[in-house]
Amino acid sequence: MVLSNKTVVVITGPTGIGKTGLSIQLAQELNCPVISADSRQIFREMKIGTAAPNQEQLELVPHFLIGTHSIFNYYSAYEYEQEALAITNKLFQKNNTIILTGGSMLYIDAFCNGIDDLPTIDPELRENLQQKYRTEGIESIRRQLKILDPDFYTQVDLKNPKRVIHAVEICLMTGRPYSELRTNTRKKRPFRILKTGLDMDRTDLHQRINARVDKMVQEGLEEEAVNLYPHKELNALNTVGYREFFDYFDKKTSREKAIELIKRNSRRYARKQLSWFRRDKEINWFDPKNPEEVITFVNEQLTNK
């Protein structure tokens, strides 16, 4: 069914740039709900370190996929695609416009373009590989991937355990190389997608990121990390803001250095995000210091569709 009068407005951009505030402001203007596209804010145990919307913000407009899952349950971009689309279809029964906001590149891409239909992984196989990773390290999994799928081995980010392990899972589940199953065919959505992105002067962005990290620490990031420390091997916790504190708890660095590294790694992640999003020519870019420009643009696009 084609939903020609329905639109998803995407608000994306790097970490710390103000996506949450703008999405709420726009949602109030349009009287519409917000779906998160943040691969860490979806976990209920990671509120402070992911700068998840607080209770007051959540009450301003309806939000979805914030704190709805646990770090103890595996969650993939494919599962996000299916869940976010199901929520979208339900919300479109009462809304003509929905806002999708976040900076997770794979989640945005999965929602807008779709990802390949891959098999569900057997839980026992997943646990076996996770155990192998915990006991032997990522290098052992890399060697296995190089044997099972040498083509994908040359493409994947070998420093990302989640991607490497998942590729091995698919190879073992299907008996075929993961690279053969990836079609990279863009899926056509039955609704309109209007993409907006936020960007600003690098010095200003870095100052905002540094200030946000200081605010997280003041709000209790260290205590949150202490509570999660016993589970530090979980993939969800391989995240800026937590792994640096874990190193401090392991006496590999000082507290002051850990906080400085959180700021540095957050800035690096922001550059990576911008590099990724800049390749998407469908994104209309705005400075977050001028939110009225985004609101005017979206209103004009919705009026003229």
Return d(Cα 165, Cα 188) in angstroms, integer: 29
Where does the pLDDT of residue 119 fall: very low under 50, low under 70, confident under 90, or very high at 90 and above?
A: confident
Contact 15, 103 (CB under 8 A): yes
CA 163 to chain centre: 14
| pLDDT at 78 (0 to 100) | 84
| Over residues 1-8, mean pLDDT | 80
Query: 10 Å Cβ neighbour count for 215?
Result: 12
| Over residues 23-49, mean pLDDT | 97
* Confidence check: pLDDT of 77 > 60: yes
| Over residues 273-280, mean pLDDT | 93
* Confidence check: pLDDT of 1 > 60: no
Where does the pLDDT of residue 75 fall: very low under 50, low under 70, confident under 90, or very high at 90 and above?
A: confident
Q: Of 110-124, 157-171, 194-208, where does the model show the most confidence?
A: 194-208
* Confidence check: pLDDT of 117 > 80: no
Q: Which domains are seen in the chain, by residue range?
A: 7-115+190-303 (3.40.50.300), 123-181 (1.10.20.140)
pLDDT in tens, 132-168: 998 899 999 999 999 999 999 998 889 889 889 999 9
For 171, the 3-state DSSP assignment is: helix
Q: Is the dihedral of CA 166, 276, 235, 252 positive or negative?
A: positive
| Over residues 287-300, mean pLDDT | 96
| pLDDT at 305 (0 to 100) | 65
Global confidence as pTM: 0.85
Helix runs in 137-254, H state only: 138-148, 150-153, 161-174, 178-181, 202-219, 221-228, 243-249
| pLDDT at 183 (0 to 100) | 72
| Over residues 122-126, mean pLDDT | 82
| Strands 192-198 vs 34-36: parallel, antiparallel or unpaired | unpaired
For 99, the 3-state DSSP assignment is: strand
For 27, the 3-state DSSP assignment is: helix
Where does the pLDDT of residue 25 fall: very low under 50, low under 70, confident under 90, or very high at 90 and above?
A: very high
Return d(Cα 85, Cα 167) in angstroms, integer: 24
Q: Is the dihedral of CA 164, 188, 291, 59 positive or negative?
A: negative
Residue spans of beta strands (DSSP E) within the chain: 7-12, 34-36, 63-64, 97-101, 192-198, 284-286
Residues facing residue 35 across a β-bridge: 64, 100
| Over residues 209-229, mean pLDDT | 98
Which of 7, 4, 5 shows the shortest CA–CA distance to 298? Answer: 7
Q: In what order do the strands lie in the sheet with 63-64?
A: 63-64, 34-36, 97-101, 7-12, 192-198, 284-286
The percentage of the chain sitting over the pLDDT mark of 70, rounded to a whole number, equals 98
| Over residues 221-250, mean pLDDT | 94
Residue for token pair 């976990």 = 43
Identify the weakest region by mean pLDDT among 1-10, 62-71, 129-138, 240-249.
1-10
